[in-house]
């Protein structure tokens, strides 16, 4: 084959190719126009969408606008007012910086741009089709910029084919706009779809108000501020108490003012919430991270939504710690019940195992060990529970929300026990139910954890060592974890092939049937080893130990025992959830009860 001739592509074709990267679907257009409007210091932004954005996207802003020459230039590739030199690229302070968005959008749509700077008497209207400027005219217009994008992908049929339903496309737009709106409360956002108002978020000075406006009314008064700063990052934002969790991922992350969707940050947030949510529940978190410009690369992907940090590990830790700090403020929130439509089985927490009715709560040491609970220590929290449970509050009844009342478990007035499973208590304002197993599980778990940290976990040597048979796969992993298990009080020796002998156990388990516990540990270990470091494996073993040693449901408790339990719960760092993330406590406030009885309407 002979050498071929290389030709420079005409700008219009080059723009069309670039558009393929910048504009994937209607939401990409919304994103780019929105970023431009924010960069232009707008305080009011209105977005009109027709047919999910496939037919029309119009964004109107009251920002600085453009003079005619700039407006024409803005449609050319790599024309930007936002960076001027190499150094700027490494200190990007605006949302846009490439000078690619407008020419890309214009290349694959029919675009009309009307713009007028405040100081100018007359505005400019530019009509573009498939990247070709058709007309430039004077236009009478309010100050700001109005960009209408019609017939997106009309000249790129392959891309058009990949568009999903109108509902999906508008859902993407709403999601994106919601995320951005959270970070810019001083901007009034309006969204219309097919001429119907979909969103309208007025200006506010309170970021928490905007978060609740956008992410759900149930968040009012349930958001706790977080703030953290070290040499690598400063983090501000809000965490919501675990009871306001969602069924799908629900956090908004800003890095240097830019919304990002980053798996690494997502992971750090979940790590911060570990032990507070059950599996399948997601926290509500808003993070504003500020990282020195030279330590973060936002130019990783054409969509500018992924970031790369120089100090990745330190930033991960910072997120985890700030979330944990934030959650420490929510520790007294109890759960508010909702009428469940389809009650689901909640727990496989052994609480229904047959119990020895004579066994007393005193069989399990409730008195604190000499170790003091540490607030905000980096405890290895548990892995959330596998069952989904819908205890999220009925958000419509704001007046009845007492779940943000911070309970003092020690001061609860005990009424009695219900079904030998729940402790009934009251406060001046509420009826409170405590799940005795979940509560005790939390107590034991924190005790074990504290004892582990102080390396003072009391052990009990078994008079008759217990022999355990595991399967081949389990025994491989189990053998590895034996030295770690010793730290939490299990002295176990391999006894050839798949057999192990348990010589000692944590004394908290004295009198308990040890075999099922070890089997459960062994069963859960392979999963853990595949996904997590040894620390997590140990944590899971601690949770299982707590679960097996905690008092069961079906066990009658004397009032002295209940007092003891409540006192110990009060001393916990995180009393409102069991180590699996299940609530230990739910409450009905008086107003809610009076409403149910129609005493008040």
Ligand X SMILES: Nc1ncnc2c1ncn2[C@@H]1O[C@H](COP(=O)(O)OP(=O)(O)OP(=O)(O)O)[C@@H](O)[C@H]1O
Which of ligand X, Mg ion, none sits in contact with 190, Cβ below 5 to 8 A by type?
none
Which neighbouring-strand residues pair with 251?
A: 285
Minimum gap (Å) between residue 101 Cβ and ligand X: 3
Residue 36 vs 498, nearer CB to Mg ion: 36
Which neighbouring-strand residues pair with 199?
A: 191
- Contact at 8 Å (CB) between 394 and 338? yes
Which of Mg ion, ligand X, none sits in contact with 201, Cβ below 5 to 8 A by type?
none
Residue 116 vs 193, nearer CB to ligand X: 116
CB atoms within 10 A of CB 230: 14
Task: Characterize the bridge pairing of strands 110-116 and 123-129.
Answer: antiparallel
Minimum gap (Å) between residue 579 Cβ and ligand X: 46
**Residue 347 interacts with ligand X (CB under 6 A): yes or no:** no
Which of Mg ion, ligand X, none sits in contact with 99, Cβ below 5 to 8 A by type?
ligand X
**Residue 145 interacts with Mg ion (CB under 5 A): yes or no:** no
Cα 520 to Cα 517: distance, rounded to the nearest angstrom: 5
**Residue 245 interacts with ligand X (CB under 6 A): yes or no:** no
Residue 101 vs 566, nearer CB to Mg ion: 101
Cα 203 to Cα 83: distance, rounded to the nearest angstrom: 29
Neighbouring C-alpha atoms within 13 Å toward the C-beta of 112: 14
Q: Applying CB under 6 A, which of residues 32, 48, 129, 573 lies at the interface with ligand X? A: 32
Minimum gap (Å) between residue 387 Cβ and ligand X: 45
Which 122-161 positions form the footprint of ligand X (CB under 6 A)? 145
**Residue 258 interacts with ligand X (CB under 6 A): yes or no:** no
Which 81-100 positions form the footprint of Mg ion (CB under 5 A)? 96
Task: Characterize the bridge pairing of strands 188-193 and 44-50.
Answer: parallel
Minimum gap (Å) between residue 163 Cβ and Mg ion: 22
In the numeric block, the tokens 């403020």 are attached to 329
Cα 207 to Cα 238: distance, rounded to the nearest angstrom: 9
Return the exposure string of 327-357: e unless at least 16 CB atoms fall within 10 Å of the residue's CB, then b.
Answer: beebbbbbbbbeeeeeeeebbebbbeeebee
Q: Applying CB under 6 A, which of residues 64, 139, 414, 424 lies at the interface with ligand X? A: 64
Applying CB under 6 A, which part among 61-69, 285-293, 397-405, 441-449 lies near ligand X?
Answer: 61-69
Among residues 145, 169, 144, 146, which one has the least CA distance to residue 55? 169
CB atoms within 10 A of CB 89: 14
Q: Applying CB under 5 A, which of residues 15, 28, 36, 549 lies at the interface with Mg ion? A: 36
Applying CB under 5 A, which part among 34-42, 43-51, 151-159, 569-577 lies near Mg ion?
Answer: 34-42
Residue 61 vs 589, nearer CB to Mg ion: 61
The residue number whose beta carbon is nearest to ligand X equals 96
Q: Applying CB under 5 A, which of residues 47, 101, 492, 572 lies at the interface with Mg ion? A: 101
Task: Name, in order, each residue with C-beta under 8 angstroms of 305's C-beta and a sequence gap of 6 or more.
Answer: 258, 259, 260, 261, 262
Minimum gap (Å) between residue 45 Cβ and ligand X: 9
CB atoms within 10 A of CB 448: 24
Neighbouring C-alpha atoms within 13 Å toward the C-beta of 110: 8
Q: Report residue 550: phi and psi, to 5°.
A: -75, 155
Q: Report residue 204: phi and psi, to 5°.
A: -150, 155
Which 72-101 positions form the footprint of ligand X (CB under 6 A)? 74, 79-82, 96-101
Which 98-117 positions form the footprint of ligand X (CB under 6 A)? 98-102
Among residues 575, 562, 275, which one has the least CA distance to residue 406? 575
Minimum gap (Å) between residue 95 Cβ and ligand X: 7
Q: How big is the site for ligand X, counted in residues (CB under 6 A)?
A: 23
Residue 74 vs 586, nearer CB to ligand X: 74
Among residues 195, 220, 212, 303, which one has the least CA distance to residue 252? 212
Minimum gap (Å) between residue 546 Cβ and ligand X: 52
Residue 79 vs 338, nearer CB to Mg ion: 79
Residue 61 vs 540, nearer CB to ligand X: 61
Q: Applying CB under 6 A, which of residues 15, 36, 178, 576 lies at the interface with ligand X? A: 36
Q: Applying CB under 6 A, which of residues 56, 57, 66, 286 lies at the interface with ligand X? A: 66
Minimum gap (Å) between residue 66 Cβ and ligand X: 5
The residue number whose beta carbon is nearest to Mg ion equals 96
**3-state SS of 201-264?**
ECCCCCHHHHHHHHHCHHHCCCEEEEEEECCCCEEEEEEECHHHCECCCEEEEEECCEEECCHH
Q: Using CB under 5 A as the criterion, which residues of the chain lie in contact with Mg ion when the complex forms?
A: 36, 96, 101
**Contacting residues toward ligand X, per CB under 6 A:** 32, 35-37, 40, 61, 63-66, 74, 79-82, 96-102, 145
């Amino acid at each position: 084959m002979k050498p071929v001739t290389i030709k420079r592509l005409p700008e219009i074709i080059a723009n069309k190719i670039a558009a393929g990267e910048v504009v994937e679907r209607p939401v990409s257009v919304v994103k780019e126009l929105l970023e431009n409007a924010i960069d232009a210091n707008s305080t009011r932004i209105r977005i009109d969408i027709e047919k999910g954005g496939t037919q029309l996207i119009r964004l109107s802003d009251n920002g600085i606008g453009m003079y005619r020459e700039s407006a024409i230039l803005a449609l050319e590739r790599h024309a930007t007012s936002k960076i001027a030199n190499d150094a700027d690229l490494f200190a990007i302070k605006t949302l846009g910086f490439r000078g690619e968005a407008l020419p890309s959008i214009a290349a694959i749509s029919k675009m009309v741009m009307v713009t007028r700077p405040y100081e100018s008497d007359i505005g400019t209207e530019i009509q573009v089709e498939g990247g070709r400027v058709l007309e430039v005219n004077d236009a009478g217009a309010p100050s700001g910029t109005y960009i209408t994008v019609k017939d997106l992908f009309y000249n790129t049929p392959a891309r058009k084919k990949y568009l999903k339903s109108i509902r999906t496309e508008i859902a993407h737009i709403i999601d994106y706009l919601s995320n951005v709106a959270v970070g810019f409360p001083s901007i009034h956002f309006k969204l219309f779809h097919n001429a119907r108002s979909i969103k309208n978020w007025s200006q506010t000075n309170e970021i928490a108000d905007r978060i609740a406006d956008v992410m759900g009314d149930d968040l009012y008064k349930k958001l706790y501020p977080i703030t953290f700063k070290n040499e690598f990052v400063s983090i501000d934002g809000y965490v919501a108490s675990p009871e306001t969790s969602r069924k799908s991922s629900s956090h908004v992350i800003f890095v240097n003012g830019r919304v990002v969707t980053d798996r690494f940050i997502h992971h750090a947030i979940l790590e911060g919430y570990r032990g507070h949510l059950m599996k399948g529940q997601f926290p509500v978190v808003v993070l504003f991270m500020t990282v020195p410009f030279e330590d973060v690369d936002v130019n990783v992907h054409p969509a500018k939504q992924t970031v790369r940090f120089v100090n990745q590990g330190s930033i991960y830790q910072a997120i985890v710690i700030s979330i944990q700090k934030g959650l420490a403020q929510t520790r007294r929130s109890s759960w508010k019940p909702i009428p469940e439509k389809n009650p689901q089985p909640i727990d496989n927490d052994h609480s229904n195992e047959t119990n020895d009715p004579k066994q007393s709560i005193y069989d399990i040491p409730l008195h604190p060990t000499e170790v003091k609970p540490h607030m905000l220590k980096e405890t290895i929290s548990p892995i959330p529970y596998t069952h989904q449970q819908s205890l999220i509050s009925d958000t419509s009844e704001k007046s009845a929300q007492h779940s943000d009342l911070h309970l003092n478990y020690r001061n609860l007035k005990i009424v009695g026990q219900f079904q030998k499973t729940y402790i009934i208590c009251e406060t001046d304002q509420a009826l409170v139910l405590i799940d005795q197993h979940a509560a005790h599980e939390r107590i034991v778990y924190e005790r074990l954890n504290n004892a582990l940290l102080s390396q003072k976990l009391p052990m009990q040597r078994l008079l008759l060592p217990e022999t355990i048979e595991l399967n081949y796969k389990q025994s491989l992993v189990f053998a590895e974890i034996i030295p770690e298990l010793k730290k939490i009080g299990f002295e176990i020796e391999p006894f050839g092939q798949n057999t192990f002998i348990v010589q000692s156990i944590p004394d908290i388990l004295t009198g308990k049937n040890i075999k099922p516990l070890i089997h459960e540990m062994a069963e859960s270990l392979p999963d853990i080893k595949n996904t997590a470091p040894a620390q997590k494996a140990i944590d899971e073993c601690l949770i299982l130990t707590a679960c097996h040693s905690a008092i069961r449901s079906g066990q009658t408790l004397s009032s002295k025992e209940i007092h003891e339990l409540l006192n110990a719960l009060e001393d916990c760092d995180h009393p409102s959830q069991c180590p699996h993330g299940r609530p230990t406590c739910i409450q009905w406030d008086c107003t809610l009860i009076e409403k149910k009885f129609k005493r008040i309407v």
